[in-house]
A and B are shown apart, each in its own frame.
Chain A
């Protein structure tokens, strides 16, 4: 058994996700990503079950593995109880661990997600918070969201939230002791290592491409680049 396949096979999602694909293509028929991207979950299953190391490496470095939306519609439909979405999750984890994710435009976006969502989890205790959904980065949210953003504390109070206050309720400030617990969980379970590895390989890539990535948070050129660039070859 090859090294890459062996590493995939250590991921619980891979073990649960691949029982043996018979190439029927039902997953592809139901897949929202297959409709709008050059994406075929049947081929993903077939490639990994081939155990061909060079094909698996190519997959780990490809745009392809980043097209799935993890809706898991495939799990319901597969007559052999495979879950291509779970296989994708294992592939993405390994692609990041090996630094291969920076070879693709879609893979490089992991840096933006780490800086936006990942850091928010550890600093606020939430994945999403109104303060990080800026109208500039989210024009699709429309004028109502602009109005909410200008009046967040007042509107949240009207809605019965506990915006940035102590105690229970929506949008409450998470106690520093709790954030410390969260931090320790991330440290002990490998969450921090994953963040570090995304940072390390992204910094190398930014240097290679000559794009500025010296500033923390989202205020750097590399963030804007990976967050907005779309070379137009992913669908059509």
Chain B
């Protein structure tokens, strides 16, 4: 009955996701910490699904981290985003797909603000014209890149080389999904499943054979908090919030975590290392931590991409226990090789966290 009720609510929260011809805007955080995920997204879209995804080298940051650390005022952020709309319009596209949840939340906020205050849109159009002599049309379809993977999840399943199943036991892998606050908490109608039952990641997991863990702090923030991480003195806030989540998910023994948002993916990985080194605690039974993937990395593994091509060596928590469960063949000696297969050294081993 509970499940039936959820399905009814989800039906109210389905949103339109364009089928093809996307204008892609990148994420500052992902290009820094998990660059292989954006590369993989484009490979899946273009090579596997045959979709048209356009990139314009002239797009910049949306200023999202500056906006949410309060050093960049709203007029400035809205005009920078309006410039991205202008680049999209000039390229002849109408479907905007940001690769970042902070950007997606901000784009949604800008469009919502303009809907309620048309005079604000006029003011920003004026700013943009004065600054750049550019004009723009409002995107007809604005979705996050994970929405696109969700949309094509069943096609991806048909191309899959493996399922999210423990090869030894035959049991579905138990997955924690983390959506990221700005995906749907601000504008629930903009997320698949809304803020209550966001199904963007759970839909992928279930389609690809895994099972989703429903734990008490499932919707709690990862603790980024913008200024609460960027300034060293505040990082206790950030790690404490992640720790709250880890403690809540631990009894369910997750096989891995998959995250929607650039910051969340990084924090849920790095704070496990920090907590291990500070307190000697890990949230698995082997002292290795719980592997954290982005949704493209999860899709890439399912589709048979090489773990080191996906960039899983850039994670602090080792992914090998997960690869072993999935029955993926990999060469550990190739993990840290450079771009031409050369030796570029290896990371030092942490004191406590086993890698």
Contacts and interface: CB of A to CB of B under 8 A. Distances in A.
Interface of A: 11-13, 16, 32-33, 35-37, 66-73, 75-76, 89, 92-93, 96, 105-106, 109-110, 112-114, 116-118, 121, 125-130, 133, 137, 140-148, 150-151, 154-161, 166-172, 174-175, 178, 181-182, 184-191, 194-195, 198, 226-230, 235
Contacts of A146: 347-348
Contacts of B349: 143
Given A112-B231, A166-B57, A147 B71 contact: no
Given A75-B185, A171-B35, A145 B316 contact: yes
Contact of B231 (A75, A118, A171, A227): A227
B77 to A, nearest CB: 8
Nearest to B31: A170
A161 B225 contact: no
Contacts of A67: 237
Contacts of A178: 58, 60
10 contacts: A35-B241, A69-B227, A96-B70, A142-B273, A147-B346, A155-B344, A171-B35, A181-B131, A181-B132, A185-B127
A113 B71 CA distance: 7
B183 to A, nearest CB: 11
A140 B70 contact: no
Contacts of B80: 182, 185
A185 B74 CA distance: 12
B131 A155 contact: no
A193 B88 CA distance: 29
A194 B233 contact: no
B38 interface: yes
A218 B106 CA distance: 28
A114 B72 CA distance: 9
Interface string B212-236: 0000000111011111101111111
A178 B80 CA distance: 11
Contacts of A194: 71-73, 76
A40 to B, nearest CB: 15
Among A126, A147, A159, A195, max chain B CB count under 10 A is at A159
B113 A12 contact: yes
Among A70, A161, A188, max chain B CB count under 10 A is at A70
Nearest to B123: A189
B130 A188 contact: yes
The 9 closest A-B pairs by CB, nearest first: A69-B225, A160-B39, A191-B76, A170-B31, A147-B347, A158-B339, A127-B65, A125-B60, A159-B35
